[in-house]
Structure 1
Amino acid sequence: MQVVTNLLTNASKFSPRGETVQVDVRANAETRTARLSVEDRGPGIVDDVRDKVFKKFTQIDSSDQRSHGGVGLGLAISKEIVELHGGTINFSSQVGRGTTFYFDLPLVE
């Protein structure tokens, strides 16, 4: 629940007012995993900071004029939780079009 809450909070924070945040859950029988993805319509993430996104206390915009609050722990905590459950977390992004964060967890019988 914490990971989903963190991803939804970020998506709603960075999406323009009136835009839709999309959530998708799918099982992959081939890899025996389930993927949950959260897609926003925000500004996107530039490639220069891609390796910093899941680090503690990281703010992509750390200027005094940044328009979104937070301390930069949500994605780092999400990564730890997902990995403790044997999964992986990642994202895809297009600058100006939005970002999709997703995580895969192993399916259990």
Structure 2
Amino acid sequence: MSGSSYDKTIQFRAGAEKEAAELLDEIHIGGVNVSELARVGLVEMLRQSLDEQDKIAVYERYSRGEIGEDVARVLLGEKLDRMEEEKASFEAAMERDTSEFLTGSDGE
């Protein structure tokens, strides 16, 4: 994303959250992958922050090739697959011969 202040590492101040993660890492057998927890949590929060218009905008950018599938999938998850299925169904319906639906009930 051009002009973005984000680099490959997203950082934030984590006071009690960091302490809680360290405690869980100490007491959980085998430890905890704090980076994975943060990644999963970030994905959930990103998805929760999107309203329906945002989701449509993300899908449109993906469809135009402005963003990659990996980014679209982070934001939309499985909804990306459903949106693609809906688009394919809509396009198939648009190509369908509807002349049979235009005749009257008496066959005319």
Pairwise same-fold verdict (TM > 0.5): no
Q: Which has the larger radius of gyration?
A: 2
TM-score range, shorter chain: under 0.3
Which protein has the bigger strand share? 1
Q: Quick check: which one's helix share is greater?
A: 2
Q: Which has the higher contact order (CA 8 A, sep 6+)?
A: 1
TM-score, reference length from structure 1 = 0.24
